[in-house]
A and B are shown apart, each in its own frame.
Chain A
Amino acid sequence: MATISLVYEIEDDDGDLGSTSVRVQDGLLISSLTGFAVGYANALDDLIGGVIRSVSAFVNATTGTLTGNDVGLTSDVEQVGKFEFLSSLGTRVKVNIPAINEPAIVAPGSDALNQSNPAVAAFIAAMEDGINVTGALIEPCDIGGASIVSTVFAREAFRNSGARR
């Protein structure tokens, strides 16, 4: 099954850039795809301290209408939210989200993200169950187009962005 990748570019307080992406099944109306792009951006935005600068796929979706998409004072794209999911075929899908908002969502004394936190729970629900866009359920998938069905882990990590100033 053909898939479409959406790439989100995230900028932190220093102006450094990082990116994360999600893949969805093809065969969508453009309006549904752009709706999903903004819905997924909402889910990301609650997780991060950085600001989403761009969303790219075969079509572009605006970030100008996102609410609360502001850069946090201590946000850092080298501070990464590292998620791993399983598809219905057992394929692992890795998602790394730069500029994760550590104080808000990392469990105290641990590197695990707090999956009960409403922002984390909503993001995981968007990955496992999809985002409903005006009646069309759009589900993230693996490289072969199989839907994501479960979460293996969610934790923080640190990664050199190669862009430190």
Chain B
Amino acid sequence: MSDLSDRVYELVKSSGGKMTYPQIYEVLGYEDRQRLPNAIRENKRSGKLQQRVDFDPVTGQNTHNVSVVK
């Protein structure tokens, strides 16, 4: 696990276990943003985070969520 992977995991965990991708993106600096997909993939592979695109039929909008699994 890279430092950024651990940082992203701790960020999501400390935010109540769930954040949207744009929220995480906004927190990071330019270079870390470019590495964010890989950081999420590393956490997915280790079973620590999952990501879901949630569609709300009422609003018709998608939300790209990242949440803690364990």
Which residues of A are interface residues toward B (Cβ below 8 A)? 35-36, 38-39, 42-43, 65-67, 114-116, 118, 121-122, 124-126, 129-134, 137
Contact = CB atoms under 8 A, between A and B. Distances in A.
Contacts, number: 66
A118 B55 contact: no
B61 A118 contact: no
B13 interface: no
B36 A42 contact: no
B25 A116 contact: yes
Interface size class of B (residues with CB under 8 A): 10 to 19
A43 B53 contact: yes
| The 10 A-B residue pairs with the shortest CB-CB distance in the complex, in nearest-first order | A39-B55, A122-B64, A42-B62, A126-B53, A132-B54, A131-B53, A115-B37, A118-B22, A125-B51, A132-B52
Contacts of A122: 21, 53, 62, 64
Interface of B: 21-22, 25, 33-37, 50-55, 57, 60-62, 64
B21 A129 contact: no
Nearest to A65: B60
A159 to B, nearest CB: 26
A42 B55 contact: yes
Nearest to A150: B41
B34 A125 contact: no
Contacts of B50: 129
Given A116-B35, A129-B53, 12 more contacts: A36-B55, A38-B57, A38-B60, A39-B62, A115-B37, A116-B34, A116-B37, A118-B25, A125-B51, A125-B52, A131-B62, A132-B52
7 contacts: A42-B60, A42-B62, A67-B60, A115-B37, A116-B25, A116-B37, A122-B64
A120 to B, nearest CB: 9
Given A42-B62, A121-B21, A116 B55 contact: no
Contact of A125 (B22, B53, B55): B53
A159 B53 CA distance: 29
Contacts of A129: 50-53
